């Protein structure tokens, strides 16, 4: 299956096996290096925030947003 991944101005289409999850994508060091994202991102599919266990479907587009910084008390 093909999945598109976008972070900022960078994007890539990847061939992944059925059953690939958001966690698989976010944990792939090569994909991180290619798009330039770290661990502090929020993944969305079709505008909805998804968890790491979310199973991707063919032609899904995953958009990564930087996680908002929070202030401690």
Supply the pTM of this predicted model: 0.87
pLDDT at 10: 93
Number of domains observed in the structure of the chain? 1
Residue 71: inside a domain: no
Between CA 51 and CA 43, with CA 59 as vertex, the angle to 5 degrees is 25
- With a CB cutoff of 8 Å and minimum separation 6, the contacts of 12 are 4, 5, 31, 34, 35
pLDDT at 68: 78
Confidence of residue 65 (pLDDT cuts 50, 70, 90): very high
Residue 72: inside a domain: no
Residue 55: inside a domain: yes
Which tens digit of pLDDT belongs to each residue from 5-50? Answer: 999 999 999 999 999 999 999 999 999 999 999 999 999 999 999 9
pLDDT at 62 over 80: yes
Q: What is the CATH number of the domain that holds 29?
A: 3.10.20.30
Question: In which domain, by residue range, is 49 found?
Answer: 2-66
């Amino acid at each position: 299956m093909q999945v598109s991944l976008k972070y900022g101005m960078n994007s890539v289409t990847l061939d992944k096996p059925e059953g690939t999850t958001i966690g698989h994508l976010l944990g792939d060091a090569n994909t991180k290096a290619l798009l330039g994202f770290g661990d502090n991102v929020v993944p969305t599919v079709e505008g909805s925030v998804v968890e790491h266990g979310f199973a991707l479907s063919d032609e899904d587009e995953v958009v990564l947003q930087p996680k908002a910084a929070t202030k401690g008390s």
